[in-house]
């Protein structure tokens, strides 16, 4: 693929003796939304976490193969994982705002990376909240605790927080599965607006969401890629029988 910002080649991942990913190879295009779908335990979240090396935090994890982002092998010695995570952001399944004010939540990331000037921070907070479609709702109470927001708002806050460090890639790990349908829809619309500026990789257990929102879809089963195609093609004319079974609800 010409415009692939992420290239994965022959990736095998082990948690201790358990193999979670087998021979995964794929390209993820830039400034598009790619969805990973599959039944629970198929390895899609695990693969997502390799992209920002959050798997490093789990002891006993072993990786074989190569993952390149922007042409650089992210597991090589010359990569500092802090900067990798700055450029590859993540939003988690359960909203996890810090028990701090809304402002301090968004400013947390920039402050980590050395930005102290309060004018600059104010700008970053505003632009991040606008990008996450949350600014109008919270602009008058930036000092309030982030925990006072509703679930859907907290998740948009987490998106804004991730955007505040100006990543190139945004990883979303089942980011709407803990939310109500209305909040879910709001976030799906939000994600559509983000793809002009960010490459988005989303894991979802809801294949209809993948069909609604993504440009490319990859179907996983038991740690392997079964099929990967443009979303429309995958859902209308799946090539693999297992894909067709999953999509038509025969399992999963």
Residues that bind another protein (CB under 8 A): 2-5, 30, 52, 54, 57, 59, 69-72, 74, 78-87, 89-90, 92, 94, 96-100, 108-109, 111-114, 144-145, 147-148, 158, 161-162, 165, 168
Sheet of 199-203: strand order equals 88-91, 169-173, 199-203, 33-37, 216-221, 224-230
- Minimum CB distance to another protein smaller for 168 or for 188: 168
- Minimum CB distance to another protein smaller for 194 or for 211: 194
DSSP label at residue 57: G
Shortest Å distance, C-beta 92 to another protein: 6
CA-to-CA dists, residue 28 to 12, 48, 63, 144, 192, angstroms: 18, 12, 19, 38, 17
Shortest Å distance, C-beta 11 to another protein: 18
Provide the pairing of β-strand 33-37 with 199-203: parallel
Shortest Å distance, C-beta 83 to another protein: 4
- Minimum CB distance to another protein smaller for 108 or for 135: 108
- Minimum CB distance to another protein smaller for 1 or for 241: 1
Shortest Å distance, C-beta 107 to another protein: 11
Q: How far is CA 236 from the centre of its chain?
A: 25
Helix locations, the chain, DSSP H: 44-51, 81-87, 102-112, 118-131, 135-138, 151-163, 181-194, 207-213, 231-236, 241-247
- Minimum CB distance to another protein smaller for 44 or for 161: 161
Structure tokens at 9: 């080649």
- Minimum CB distance to another protein smaller for 87 or for 197: 87
* 188 touches 176 (CB < 8 A): yes
Shortest Å distance, C-beta 34 to another protein: 16
Structure tokens at 207: 């294949």
Shortest Å distance, C-beta 237 to another protein: 29
What residues have CB less than 8 Å from 233, skipping those under 6 apart?
none
């Amino acid at each position: 693929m010409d415009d692939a910002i992420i290239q994965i080649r022959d990736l095998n991942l082990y948690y201790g003796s358990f193999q979670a990913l087998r021979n995964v190879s794929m390209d993820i295009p830039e400034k598009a939304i790619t969805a990973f779908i599959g039944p629970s335990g198929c390895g899609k979240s695990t693969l997502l976490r390799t992209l920002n090396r959050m798997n490093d935090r789990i002891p006993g994890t072993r990786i074989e193969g190569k993952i390149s982002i922007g042409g650089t092998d992210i597991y090589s010695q010359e990569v500092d994982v802090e900067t990798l995570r700055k450029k590859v952001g993540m939003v988690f399944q359960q909203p996890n705002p810090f028990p701090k004010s809304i402002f301090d939540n968004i400013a947390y990331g920039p402050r980590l990376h050395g930005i102290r000037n309060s004018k600059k921070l104010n700008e970053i907070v505003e632009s991040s909240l606008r990008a996450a479609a949350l600014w109008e709702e919270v602009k008058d109470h930036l000092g309030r605790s982030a925990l006072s927001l509703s679930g859907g708002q907290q998740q948009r806050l987490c998106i804004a927080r991730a955007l505040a460090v100006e990543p190139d890639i945004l990883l979303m790990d089942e980011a709407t599965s803990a939310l109500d349908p209305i909040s879910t829809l709001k976030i799906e619309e939000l994600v559509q607006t983000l793809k002009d500026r960010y490459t988005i990789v989303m894991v979802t257990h809801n294949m209809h969401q993948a069909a609604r929102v993504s440009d490319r879809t990859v179907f996983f089963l038991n740690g392997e890629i079964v099929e990967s195609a443009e979303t429309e093609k995958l859902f209308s004319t799946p090539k693999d029988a297992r894909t067709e079974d999953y999509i038509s609800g025969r399992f999963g």
